[in-house]
Amino acid sequence: MSIPTVPNISKMLTIKEVAESMGVHQRTIYRLAKGGKMPGFKFGGTWRFDPETIRQWINQEMLKNCTEVHN
């Protein structure tokens, strides 16, 4: 059995940082994360996001949206 790699907590993004990088309001990120639609986790009472996981999620959402538009 392999142990999963844990991302470096110090490199995690906050809701504010994710919102700023995506050009949306912080409430939007909070709603997405709380609703389980965006990958993130609570750490010490605040939401944290792994930058690479967020990049992958954005790419998947873009592909999903492109597929929906063309079908």
Give the tokens for residue 32. Answer: 């997405």
Query: Where residue 49 sits, what CATH number does that domain have?
Result: 1.10.10
Q: What are phi and psi of 59, to 5 degrees?
A: -60, -45
The number of helix segments (H) and strand segments (E) in the chain equals 3, 2
For 70, the 3-state DSSP assignment is helix
pTM for the model: 0.78
16 domain residue, yes or no: yes
23 domain residue, yes or no: yes
42 domain residue, yes or no: yes
Per residue in 34-65, pLDDT tens?
Answer: 999 999 999 889 999 999 999 999 999 988 88
5 domain residue, yes or no: no
Cα–Cα distance between 56 and 58 in angstroms, integer?
5
User: How many domains, in total, are found in the chain?
Assistant: 1
1 domain residue, yes or no: no
Q: What is the pLDDT of residue 28?
A: 97
Domain enclosing residue 36, as ranges: 11-70
R_g (Cα) of the chain, nearest Å: 14
